[in-house]
Structure 1
Amino acid sequence: MDEYVIYNINIIYMDHIISNGYIYIKNGFIADIDIGSPLKHLMSKAERVDGKYILPGFIDTHTHGIAGIDVTESVDPYKFLELAKHYMRHGVTSFLPTTVSTSHDRIIEVCKAIREAMNIWRPENGSRILGLHMEGPYINPKRAGAQNPIYIRIPTMSEVKNLLDSCGDVIKQISMAPEIENSLSTARIFVDRGITVSAAHTDATYDEGLKAIENGFTKITHIFNGMREFHHREPGIALAFLQNEKTFIEVIPDFIHLHKSVVKMVIDIAGPNRVVLITDSILATDMPDGVYTLGGLRIIVENGIARLEKGELAGSTLTMDKALRNVYTLGYKLPLVSKMLSTTPARSIKAINIGRIEKKAKADFIVLDDELNIKAVFVEGLRVF
């Protein structure tokens, strides 16, 4: 339907809940939100949904794959449309497919496939493809983690120029180490193109972290993972970003990458307006335990935990609906958890008209039951799940 009303449901609106409210959708956008019953002339367009809460759809700005599909290996645009359907089932209405360190030519191929997929995409395909998040290859090999060291390199002006000429309109975020050669000058180039630059896989000190922020880094990738450890005499880059109110903080809330008390500490320090909950999921997500690959590296998944053969964590098998339930158990109210899964991720990459339930925003929302399980997913007003 071009227009309809969902009513008699609790709506997550900004920092509070509208009890027994209704939401009026017209032409893919939210036209009105209010308490009680819709106006009489709208009742003919009313639709009841089985659920307790309406939340903004989740936005995952850091995911490497799901259901056997790997972003870095996907040069077919239809693979990204497949990804969109799989993410949608977990409440994701927009996502940034994320590459790991790979060759320059492969990045260009993936960019082209994403651009084509974005042009083909329609709401019925599921989650919206927002563009590309490049994690690497401009990182510190000392903190490579599950990034293949053979592809890690220093950025050069010729490579960066070719990258931006080929797919600058597709790239929305790049994660790189600020202390490596040419990093800060490269970061400023990306920032000038409207790309979010995030500190990642870095051995930067606290002072180098401050310098990174001065040069346009506005985000830190999966905080405490793949970076210099915190020490009371050298707190490292993590504290530099935590203390700066203008930065965003990526958190993997699987309670494996970070102890649940650390997740709570980060949220309490930075607050929901800065914390971006991500999955960092890999192709083994929604798949059985077994042996997989990521960027050419062998990954072993046991009990849903992905590791390199030498034991280091290698992404996750977390989904965004599980992330919601995990963080909710830490004692935060649902509107605040929702903000970290939707509104703040959108702001962190400068995405407009998504990530919130309010007038004139795109009608991307999910319906949850009492136990916070997904009951329905809507993208631009179309029920896709």
Structure 2
Amino acid sequence: MSTWGGPVDVTLTGGRVVTPEGVLARGWVAVRDGLIVAVGEGTPPDGPTTDIGNGWVVPGFVDIHCHGGGGEAFTSADPERVRKAASAHRRHGTTTMLASLVSRPIPELANQVSALAELVEDGVVAGIHLEGPFLSAARCGAHDPAILCPPDKASVETVLTAGRGTVRMVTVAPELEHGVEAIRRLVDNDVLAAIGHTDATEAQIRPAIEAGATVATHLFNGMRPLHHREPGPIGALLDDERVTVELICDLVHLHPTAVRLAARHAGSGRTVLVTDAIAAAGVGDGVYDVGGLEVRVVDGVPTLAGGGSLAGSTLTMDSAFRNAVTSCGLSVEDAVHATATRPAELLGLADATGRLAAGLAADIVVLDEEFRPREVLSRGAWVKD
């Protein structure tokens, strides 16, 4: 799957265009030289047009937590396999993504980061997310507990140096030794500090937020449950206005009511939908390797072989968008904010993508009336198989 034929000059017409100001019922989006040059309602400008037939036009999706797809994982050192993984999600509307890596020994992780850094520099992915190894063994999920380690200064500096500025987010369990100091170090290096896979109490979460942590890695999953006498990480992260919460909206990791409650409390300014997808996304059931652990995918649900713990997802962002609207009760506008606008802001890309506005990249998804993708434009080029 790849872009096809290079950037096009076209105006998309005949559909509902979701803009930062609201939905344009008879909207149009003009694309020239890889950029959105104008967005409006009513009569489109002169030039070639494509009628989308009463569908929806939304910004290209931005996924800040994805491990792979199309049968490939981002842990591969082979750049073509990484490109295949990114392309598998691009066809489903994800035009910008972070490549997430699972827990590995620090030297091996540094090698993976170094290999991916070149693909970030080439624009294949927008950056790297390290989901481990700085995680709690008590809430490790599909991470090998034998590999987990505290985020000491040397370990953090090793992976950041290997990334040459391309590591954009690191998940940390703040109750670990050096946890809060590591969060400060990450923030000082312009890296998003995320809290996840944690068994921390609310009292242990608060200093991490004060130190600069601003993301909750897949809220609810991989963390101490919410309790009315000990709110734990869920209560602290959801309640703090400085923290944006990730939600895996596959209707497996989270019940629709949990998605709705979290999204309503956090609001559109703090809610991000993610896939947490593994190599099986877009491929199907089978046996896969995730960070050295055997994962079995049955009926689209990945679990650790013999363990039963969920091991990522087979979700794509178009499905997350559709689930959010049709099953969880989010408005289309809020779903756009959660799948494009807010994640782009988190990555510092708000001036480049995440909205349908003049001057931004022509990253666009055309959805039918049931919110299934018809066409995708990535940097103004049609995405085709």
TM-score range, shorter chain: over 0.9
- After superposition, residues 263-274 of structure 1 pair within 5 angstroms as 263-274=259-270
* TM-score computed with the length of structure 1 as normaliser: 0.93
2:33 matches 1:31 = no
Q: In the alignment, what sits opposite 2:77?
A: 75
2:238 counterpart SS class: helix
Q: What is the percent sequence identity of the aligned residues?
A: 34
Return the alpha-carbon distance in structure 1 between the equivalents of residues 47 and 311 of structure 2.
51
How far is 1:210 from its partner? 1.3
- After superposition, residues 205-220 of structure 1 pair within 5 angstroms as 205-220=201-216
| Aligned partners of 2:70 and 2:84 also within 8 Å | no
Q: In the alignment, what sits opposite 1:181?
A: 177
2:317 matches 1:320 = yes
2:276 counterpart SS class: coil
* Superposition CA RMSD, Å: 1.6
Deviation per CA, 1:126-156: give whole Å up to 9, x if none.
xx51010000101111111111112100122
How far is 1:168 from its partner? 4.0
- After superposition, residues 1-385 of structure 1 pair within 5 angstroms as 3-14=9-20, 16-39=22-45, 43-49=46-52, 52-72=55-75, 74-121=76-123, 128-308=124-304, 309-329=306-326, 330-352=328-350, 353-385=352-384
Deviation per CA, 1:163-207: give whole Å up to 9, x if none.
222214110111110110011111111111111110011011111
Structure 1 residues 285 and 2: alpha-carbon distance in aligned structure 2, compared to 1, 3 A threshold: closer
How far is 1:2 from its partner? 5.7
1:194 counterpart SS class: coil
Deviation per CA, 1:221-276: give whole Å up to 9, x if none.
11111111111111101111111112100001111111111111101111122111
Structure 1 residues 45 and 223: alpha-carbon distance in aligned structure 2, compared to 1, 3 A threshold: same
Return the alpha-carbon distance in structure 1 between the equivalents of residues 44 and 188 of structure 2.
45
Aligned length: 375
Deviation per CA, 1:73-120: give whole Å up to 9, x if none.
x11222221112101111111111100100222222222222222344
How far is 1:15 from its partner? 5.2
Unmatched tracts of structure 1, length 5 or more: 122-127
Q: Which runs of 4+ in 1 moved over 6 A?
A: none
| Aligned partners of 2:71 and 2:85 also within 8 Å | no
Return the alpha-carbon distance in structure 1 between the equivalents of residues 47 and 216 of structure 2.
48
Return the alpha-carbon distance in structure 2 between the equivalents of residues 57 and 51 of structure 1.
18
| Aligned partners of 1:15 and 1:336 also within 8 Å | no
Moved more, 327-336 or 359-368: 327-336
Return the alpha-carbon distance in structure 1 between the equivalents of residues 275 and 341 of structure 2.
16
Return the alpha-carbon distance in structure 2 between the equivalents of residues 223 and 217 of structure 1.
14
| Aligned partners of 1:51 and 1:375 also within 8 Å | no
Q: In the alignment, what sits opposite 2:4?
A: none
| Aligned partners of 1:8 and 1:37 also within 8 Å | no
Return the alpha-carbon distance in structure 2 between the equivalents of residues 115 and 211 of structure 1.
31
Q: In the alignment, what sits opposite 1:125?
A: none
Return the alpha-carbon distance in structure 2 between the equivalents of residues 206 and 349 of structure 1.
27
1:372 counterpart SS class: coil
AA matched with 1:356: R
AA matched with 1:167: G
| Aligned partners of 2:281 and 2:315 also within 8 Å | yes
